[in-house]
Amino acid sequence: MLADQPFLRIPGPTPVPPSVQRAMNQPMIGHRDQETKDLLHRIKPKLKPVFGTDQDILMIAGSGTGGLETAVVNAVRPGDEVLVIVTGAFGDRFAQICTEYDITMHRIDVEWGEAAEPETVETYLKQHPEIKAVFATFCETSTGVLNPVYELSQVIKQQSDALFIVDGVSAIAGAEMKMDDWGIDILVTGSQKAMMLPPGLTFATVSERAWDVIENNKRPSFYFDLTKYRDQLENDSTPFTPAISLLFGLEQVLSLIETEGLGAVYNRHLTMMNMTRAAFKELGIPLLTSDKAASPTVTAIAPTDFDPEALRKVLKNEFNLTVAGGQKHLKGQIFRIGHMGYCSPADMLQTIGIIEVALNKIGKPIELGSGTRAAQEILLGGS
């Protein structure tokens, strides 16, 4: 392997396009100067289609988890009842944040590797009419599940007046999102996943209905007060120092997405998902999720006859290819391949081919090339 040729195939952070890296290398500008105002003014309209909304997208210097906490602290007050749908480690993170803020929390725990069922949520809301907000994860990164947020939103709106708050961190710009049409009230994401940037930016967008709740929430908040970001963005500014280099990169990211076309971006992610799943099915290695629940941005593999950590070690040490391991109780039981953002079907053919060699090296009997061939067939078929 070459020391300076890493192959990063984890579900975030993800590789950054060279043109985006170059954009971020621009000389620093004053965060209160006209250049920054002009930059934000150009970015604002281009962000909206990625989220599927007519609302402005608020940009906060921070991580994806900062976005989750921002949603909680703005939309919910201590003592309010909320429902958290937990389908993995990041649904559980929403639950932990609610607990820290003394919120009365209900939770629906779904078996890891399975998607949330709207019928279960509907029944729960009928039994608990005081719930003020429902939290869910769009793509559960820890399991590779894409939750049916549109269907969840429908039952939430039918059965309650609760806000629907969605973690879109490892899905936005990789999976289709129609926030307004789907009835999502608060949607957050981070920069380091399908948005093709380094870590350091969190994005939040808010429905008119949610703004009414936020404006009447008198809980003290300083840095994470969304009304400050909304009011300043109207003037093409931010309440606090923005991550200017990341904003330079973001403008280039949005240009790349615009050039490719959002529909083509989503189709590329679906193709990579189908290629990856077809390859491991052909190799006889079980997948954690069903085809119906699978995410277009990350695939979780659950082998039964070899150690995933041994595979990861060979991939890293001999090929400089990094894939992710399992989290919490799935640690040492699964491995996860990220295929989002600056990633193409060609990258996945390379990744699958390397994994086949590594499987051979750890003693897993496979027919070399069979997984790659299955992925090639998907690509040739245009799936």
Question: Any known ligand binding at 93?
Answer: no
The answer to whether the CB of 135 falls within 8 A of the CB of 92 is no
Integer angstrom CA distances of residue 169 from 188, 205, 232, 257: 7, 13, 24, 17
CB 326, CB 345: distance < 8 Å: no
Residue-by-residue DSSP string for 28-93: P--TTSHHHHHHHHHHHHHHHHHHT-SSPPEEEES-HHHHHHHHHHHH--TT-EEEEEESSHHHHH
DSSP-assigned letter for residue 175: B
- Residue 220's SS3 state is coil
CA dist 75 to 102, 119, 209, 210, Å? 13, 25, 11, 7
- Residue 36 structure tokens: 């920054």
Q: In what order do the strands lie in the sheet with 163-167?
A: 58-61, 201-206, 186-190, 163-167, 131-137, 81-86, 104-109
CA distance 67 to 65: 5
Angle (deg, nearest 10), helices 208-215 and 64-75: 70
Count of beta carbons in the 10 Å neighbourhood of residue 321: 22
Backbone angles phi, psi at 336, to 5 degrees: -130, 135
What angle (nearest 5°) sits at the alpha carbon of residue 235, between those of residues 230 and 240? 60
Question: What's at 14, amino acid-wise?
Answer: T
HSE (side-chain half, CA atoms, 13 Å) at 43: 23
Query: Which residues contribute to the annotated binding site?
Result: 336
Query: Which residues contribute to the annotated binding site for substrate?
Result: 336
